[in-house]
Every structure is written in structure tokens, then in C-alpha cells.
């Protein structure tokens, strides 16, 4: 059972973080601009952060697939990065800032509690991956179980990535 949990957590983190990294790198100027508006880093570090954050996401998307203890550390780092993202979102909400979340590229959807909830779900996935990667002897994986886990992970990843679209779809018009 632990092997399936680990596979699912690896798949979700890898897909979500790789998608986020690619989107941010493709729209690096937009991401840097959003960082300036959010005032999350000093202005002189905006360019570094605009490259560093997606590079960190891409590296973590790969490292969760490494054997233990590397994967264990990767899941811990992933959880830390997600917690940092959530803290930024909470701060923006408390300030009443009307900014969009550049998590998966340019977006016109303002930061909301749904974005924080998304990060809490991702944090839970990283925490589960951390526990599963540290567990002794994950056991074997059957092809049917792998297919089910990867299908579920793909569906979960798509929902996580589509947070902005879902928020826009189900929110009242402004």
C-alpha cells in the first residue's frame, strides 16, 4: 500500500511542479511583474526569484522520483516551498490585495481562499510522500494498481492546476 501512496504522491508533485515551473519560465516577465506587485521579495531580487522559484520547482519535480533518502528530503523541501507559497497567499488575503496568482502562468483570477486550499492539499500530498518515502520496504507494484494510481494522480493534478479556471467558473460575477 505504501508503494502506491508513494507513486501517487510522486506523480502529483511532479506533474504540478513541472507544469508550474514551465509556465513561470515561459512567462518569466509576467511572473517577475507579479512578484513585484505582491512585494514578496525585495525589488533587487525579483529577477533572481523569477528564475529561482521555477528552477527549484523543476528540480523538486525530478528529485521526488529519486530513491530514499533523496526523495524524502525532496518531499520535505517541497512541503516547505508549498508552505511558503501558502503563507504569501494568506498575507495577500489579509492585506486585501487584489492581485492574481501567477502559480501556473499569467492569470486574471484574484488570489482567494481556494488558492490557499489548493496549497493545503498540495502540502498534504507532500507530507504523505514524505512519510511514504521514509517507510521501510515499499513493496511491489502491480500493473493494475499502477494504472489506477496514475489515473487518479493525473485527475488530481489536473484539478490542482485548474484552480484558477474552477474559481472563475464557480464564483459570482464581479
Find the domain containing 117 and state its range.
2-170
How many domains in the chain? 1
Instruction: Quickly state the pLDDT bin for 119 (edges 50, 70, 90).
Output: very high
- At residue 172, the pLDDT reads 62
- The whole-number average pLDDT for the span 71-91 is 96
**Inter-residue contact 40 to 88 (CB < 8 Å):** yes
Q: Is 110 helix (H, G, I), strand (E, B) or coil?
A: strand
Task: For the chain, report the end-to-end CA distance as a whole number of angstroms.
Answer: 46
Q: CA-to-CA distance for 122 and 161, rounded, in angstroms?
A: 11
Q: CA-to-CA distance for 161 and 31, rounded, in angstroms?
A: 16
- At residue 83, the pLDDT reads 97
Beta bridge partners of 23: none
pTM over 0.85: yes
Amino acid at each position: 500500500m505504501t508503494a502506491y501512496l508513494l507513486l501517487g504522491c510522486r506523480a502529483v508533485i511532479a506533474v504540478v511542479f513541472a507544469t508550474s515551473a514551465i509556465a513561470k519560465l515561459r512567462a518569466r516577465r509576467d511572473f517577475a511583474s507579479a512578484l513585484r506587485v505582491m512585494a514578496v521579495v525585495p525589488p533587487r531580487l525579483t529577477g533572481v526569484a523569477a528564475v529561482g522559484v521555477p528552477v527549484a520547482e523543476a528540480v523538486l519535480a525530478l528529485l521526488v522520483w529519486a530513491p530514499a533518502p533523496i526523495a524524502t528530503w525532496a518531499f520535505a523541501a517541497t512541503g516547505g516551498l508549498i508552505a511558503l507559497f501558502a503563507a504569501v497567499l494568506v498575507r495577500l488575503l489579509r492585506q486585501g490585495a487584489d492581485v492574481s496568482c501567477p502559480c501556473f502562468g499569467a492569470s486574471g483570477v484574484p488570489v482567494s481562499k481556494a488558492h490557499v486550499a489548493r496549497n493545503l492539499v498540495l502540502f498534504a500530498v507532500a507530507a504523505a510522500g514524505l512519510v511514504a518515502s521514509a517507510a521501510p520496504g515499499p513493496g511491489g507494484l502491480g500493473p493494475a494498481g499502477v494504472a489506477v494510481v496514475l489515473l487518479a494522480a493525473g485527475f488530481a493534478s489536473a484539478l490542482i492546476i485548474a484552480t484558477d479556471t474552477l474559481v472563475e467558473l464557480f464564483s459570482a460575477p464581479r
